Amino acid sequence: MDKTSKIYVAGHCGLLGSALLKRLKSEGYLNIVTRSHRYLDLTRQEVVEKFFKNEQPEYVFLCAGLTGGIMANKTYPATFLHTNIAIQDNVFEASLKYNVRYIVFYGSSCAYPRNCPQPIKEEYLLTGEIEQTSEAYAIAKIAGILACRAYNSQYNANRFIALLPNTMFGPNDNFDVNRSHVIPSLIRKFHEAKVKNESIVVLWGSGNPRREFIYSEDVADASVFAVKNAKRLQNTHYNIGSGIDYSIKELAEIISEIVGFKGGIEWDVSKPNGAPKKLLDSTHFLNMGWKPSTPLEGGLKITYECFLNQCCVRGGMI
Ligand SMILES: NC(=O)c1ccc[n+]([C@@H]2O[C@H](COP(=O)([O-])OP(=O)(O)OC[C@H]3O[C@@H](n4cnc5c(N)ncnc54)[C@H](OP(=O)(O)O)[C@@H]3O)[C@@H](O)[C@H]2O)c1
């Protein structure tokens, strides 16, 4: 990737896309093209085709997609399935047609079976039943991972790169109550309880499930690393994790401390937990020479500051 290469960051207003944009700009890439959702709906095949024809990007980071926590996934499974598959399919086909050199697609740890051995190795994909609460999203992600493999095989070119980050967090995360993942949701809940001087925050589930979190800027770093080292990649997918997992209880305690909430926490065990544990084995990618650099607490402090300063620009400009 040269400093003048045309690079399309799809979904640049989101959590990962904004981290990538920041990273590419800081490295001096000069020819970055972006379009926000409102100017380019990637589920619409004809406008995607036109955009690629006009812009002819050489590299694509496909950070656009529909994501959400357990509630959103359970309420809108058809929307999660359709939106993600349509975006992937349109962008993959256009990337092939207009000779994109490398495209990076992001799968998810949700794609792995619910009860697979831990830490989760890449080869556990499609070896068992997936978690029911995020089934539709997971199927879309599995389709995307397999599509990368299929395009590479059929066209004899390792141009489609599938990275599977574990649960991401960072500036520009989605703090919307109906759409947020666990970290932005906890930040909002503890912050609002602090402001209202409430004594108790009630959280979903038992607090026992364990999750691995990775800072969005570390995933941006992994993405750039993957493209720079693309010739060394195999035609498969790569786990991208921090290597450390926390129970939701531990996470809640860390966040309540950072936010400065002085009350107690109650667990509503009538609400779903999701998969019991999701820790990725990222050995393959680590062995290539990449490593994450942001500890959970440091990343959470920056994320909370972003939330407080309302510096998130989601849904923003072109
Ligand atoms: N967050 C995680 O923990 C996580 C973990 C593993 C993998 N991933 C994957 O990584 C990628 C990036 O995730 P993220 O957390 O950065 O997501 P995000 O913060 O929700 O950002 C997604 C971006 O995609 C845009 N978008 C959605 N639908 C679109 C459409 N039809 N056309 C054009 N743009 C559209 C969104 O714009 P609007 O907000 O304006 O709709 C938003 O800017 C996704 O593929 C996700 O599945 C995420």
Q: Is residue 114 situated within a structural domain?
A: yes
Per-residue pLDDT tens digits for 50-77? 999 999 999 999 999 999 888 889 899 9
Per-residue pLDDT tens digits for 130-165? 999 899 999 999 999 999 999 999 998 889 999 999
C-alpha 307/C-alpha 305 separation (Å) is 5
- Work out the average pLDDT over 208-224: 97
Higher pLDDT, 236 or 285: 285
Closest C-alpha to ligand 1, atom 15: 15
Would you state the torsion angle of the CA atoms of residues 91, 29, 239, 166, taken in this order, to the nearest 10 degrees? -90
Question: Which is the closest atom of ligand 1 to the Cα of 17?
Answer: 16
Q: Is residue 289 situated within a structural domain?
A: yes
Give the per-residue pLDDT at 191. Answer: 96
Q: Residue 82's pLDDT band (boundaries 50, 70, 90)? A: very high
Compute the distance from residue 154 Cα to the ligand 1 centre, in Å: 28
314 Cβ inside 6 Å of ligand 1: yes
Assigned token pair, 276 = 């019991």
> Ligand 1 pocket: which of 35, 37, 47, 166 to mutate (most atoms <8 Å of CB)?
37
Give the per-residue pLDDT at 29. Answer: 97
Higher pLDDT, 193 or 315: 193
Q: Is residue 197 situated within a structural domain?
A: no
Question: Which is the closest atom of ligand 1 to the Cα of 87?
Answer: 31
**Which runs of E-coded beta strand occur in 136-236?**
160-165, 167-169, 200-204, 210-215
Question: Which is the closest atom of ligand 1 to the Cα of 110?
Answer: 6
Give the per-residue pLDDT at 312. Answer: 57
CATH number where 68 lies? 3.40.50.720
C-alpha 117/C-alpha 34 separation (Å) is 39
Q: Is residue 19 situated within a structural domain?
A: yes
Q: Residue 181's pLDDT band (boundaries 50, 70, 90)? A: confident
Question: Which is the closest atom of ligand 1 to the Cα of 167?
Answer: 3
11 Cβ inside 6 Å of ligand 1: yes
> Ligand 1 pocket: which of 15, 76, 84, 223 to mutate (most atoms <8 Å of CB)?
15
C-alpha 279/C-alpha 281 separation (Å) is 7
Q: Is residue 303 situated within a structural domain?
A: no
37 Cβ inside 6 Å of ligand 1: yes
Give the per-residue pLDDT at 309. Answer: 86
- Work out the average pLDDT over 166-184: 89
Compute the distance from residue 5 Cα to the ligand 1 centre, in Å: 24
- Work out the average pLDDT over 86-99: 98
- Work out the average pLDDT over 40-52: 98
Give the per-residue pLDDT at 317. Answer: 43
Compute the distance from residue 173 Cα to the ligand 1 centre, in Å: 10
Domain residues for the domain of 221 are 7-173+213-244+277-294
Catalytic residues: 137
Q: Which residues contact 23 (CB under 8 A, 6 or more apart)?
A: 217, 220, 221, 224
Smallest CA-to-CA distance from 123 within 138, 135, 111, 136 is with 111
pLDDT over 90 (residue 275): no
Chain-centroid distance, C-alpha 310: 21
181 Cβ inside 6 Å of ligand 1: yes
**pTM for this entry:** 0.95
> Ligand 1 pocket: which of 63, 92, 296 to mutate (most atoms <8 Å of CB)?
63
- Total domain count for the chain? 1
Closest C-alpha to ligand 1, atom 11: 63
205: left (phi over 0), alpha (psi -120 to 50) or beta: left
Question: Which is the closest atom of ligand 1 to the Cα of 141?
Answer: 47
